[in-house]
Amino acid sequence: MDIQVQGDLMEKIVSLCKRRGFIFQSSEIYGGFNGFWDYGPYGSMLKKAVEQLWWNEMVETRNNVVGLDSTIICHPKTWKASGHVDRFGDIMCDCKDCKTRFRVDQMPDPKTCTNCGSHNLTEPREFNLMMKTYVGPVFDEEHIAYLRAESCQPIFLDFNLIRIATRQQLPFGIAQIGKAFRNEITPRMFTFRSREFTQMEMEFFCADEGSMDWFNYWREQRVNYYKNKLGFRDDEIRLHPHDKLAHYAKAAVDIEFLFPFGWGELEGIHHRGTWDLSQHQKFSEQNLEYLDQATGKRFIPTVVETSVGLDRTILAIFCHAYCEDKAPTQKEGMDEDVRIVLRFPARIAPIQVAVLPLSKKLNEQAEMLQKKVSSYYRTELDVTGNIGKRYRRQDEIGTPFCLTYDFESDNDNAVTVRERDSMAQERVPIAELKKYLDNKIYGW
């Protein structure tokens, strides 16, 4: 049924996202703001659903991982200790003629301006990616603070408090979902590289001995999640071990997704050694050692991290889900035409169930049904246009199930359920809808 997606897939996704209110440029009325994106009504529902899926997978279904929701701005010493203030940057150079700035590692020839061909370039220099602000009434060096560049640092700051409060013993993890900010020089590829984005990170604390087993465990867990929960195919994701490792790390691997512009990093699994806790112990002068009750030994725990961008996950979901196939049409002189469908997994679709009255005369009953169904699923009442057009509109926003309330429904207390991917229709009694949809959406 699928036909080749014609034309540039990225362009189609960007345009669909704007047209249907998923994702659009921030501050568009001022000409937009490069590297910043807003999630509209359907986009924010999708975002929350993907967040919840990750949280459920990483925290709610595990007894040895707990959650945190920390501030975005934390003590400025944090970023000195973590190394971000001194070393978190890209090596850049400027063309003195056309004034374009480049990341040196992305230039085909570091001696030639990629824009105008000039050789009149500045010496390469480091450009720090941390976003600065001031806290307090005085705007001077002493009052500089930073918007966090990764959501995980507060996890290390709060490690002891959380361990004691939750009575967790090693090995255990702390997870956090939250905003991160980087002054990226070349934000690009829609939301792929943004200046404000959301990360979903989990830091797993363990003894150094056995830490590579945990690294392998989390790598497997995360790959299985992409395959089983998001439905990514074997040819869409791959593992890419890092060529260079930080001096404190034993291993690092990226899970990459095949975006329309090529393979790109989706998630990093990092062995961080004892680096972060040791640094915060040194800078805070607080003891962050763990006492092993069984052996009586004190040591700084080793950390294995899983770190993924929510925005990149959503972009990958769009790339995976976007599809064009053929469907019957009521257009004059045509039996079928191209149908755009977002084949989102039903559990994360922004609208899981749309309720469609066949005629305006049935709006009231349909609205009553939608109210009932909305206790269990994300729903929408879709009343305008002929039924065929409404199905297409729902296909385009990825709604897996449409319930059509027709003139028979008043008599037989049943509705027609139309399934997005197969377009198959089935009559289901209203009393059995929950059981039917739970099974289809969650496999219960």
Kindly state the smallest distance separating residue 29's Cβ from ligand GAP, in Å. Answer: 24
Q: Which of residues 298-327 bind ligand GAP (CB under 6 A)?
A: 305, 307-309, 311-312
Distance between CA atoms of 389 and 327, rounded to whole angstroms?
12
Distance between CA atoms of 394 and 406, rounded to whole angstroms?
18
Tokens of 318: 């769009």
Q: Which of residues 326-345 bind ligand GAP (CB under 6 A)?
A: none
The residue count of the chain comes to 444
Q: Using CB positions, name the residue nearest to ligand GAP.
A: 309
Residue 51 engages ligand GAP in binding (rule: CB under 6 A) = no
Q: Which of residues 210-269 bind ligand GAP (CB under 6 A)?
A: 265-268
Kindly state the smallest distance separating residue 258's Cβ from ligand GAP, in Å. Answer: 15
Residue 185 engages ligand GAP in binding (rule: CB under 6 A) = no
Tokens 């496999």 found at:
443
Site string for ligand GAP, 351-390 (x = CB under 6 A): ----------------------------------------
Distance between CA atoms of 169 and 294, rounded to whole angstroms?
11
Alpha helices (H) in 20-168, listed in sequence order: 41-55, 77-81, 84-87, 153-157, 159-166
Chosen residue from 39, 156, 197, 344 binding ligand GAP by CB under 6 A? 197
Kindly state the smallest distance separating residue 283's Cβ from ligand GAP, in Å. Answer: 18
Kindly state the smallest distance separating residue 379's Cβ from ligand GAP, in Å. Answer: 31
Residue 193 CB neighbour total at 10 angstroms: 18
Kindly state the smallest distance separating residue 127's Cβ from ligand GAP, in Å. Answer: 14
Q: Which of residues 136-175 bind ligand GAP (CB under 6 A)?
A: 150, 152
Residue 78 CB neighbour total at 10 angstroms: 22
Q: How far is CA 417 from the centre of its chain?
A: 30
Which window, 49-57, 82-90, 189-197, 421-429, contacts ligand GAP (CB under 6 A)?
189-197
In 196-287 the beta strands, taken as DSSP E runs, fall at 196-206, 237-241, 252-259, 262-273
Amino acid occupying residue 274: T
Which burial class, exposed, middle or buried, applies to 437 when counting CB atoms under 10 A from its CB (0-12, 13-18, 19+)?
A: buried
**Closer of 150 and 382 to ligand GAP (Cβ):** 150
Q: Give the number of residues in contact with ligand GAP, rule: CB under 6 A.
A: 19
Of 384, 388, 394, 310, the residue nearest 344 (C-alpha): 394
Q: For residue 5, give Cα distances in angstroms to 298, 319, 341.
A: 58, 11, 11
Residue 276 engages ligand GAP in binding (rule: CB under 6 A) = no
Chain contacts with ligand GAP (rule: CB under 6 A):
150, 152, 182, 184, 193-194, 197, 199, 201, 265-268, 305, 307-309, 311-312
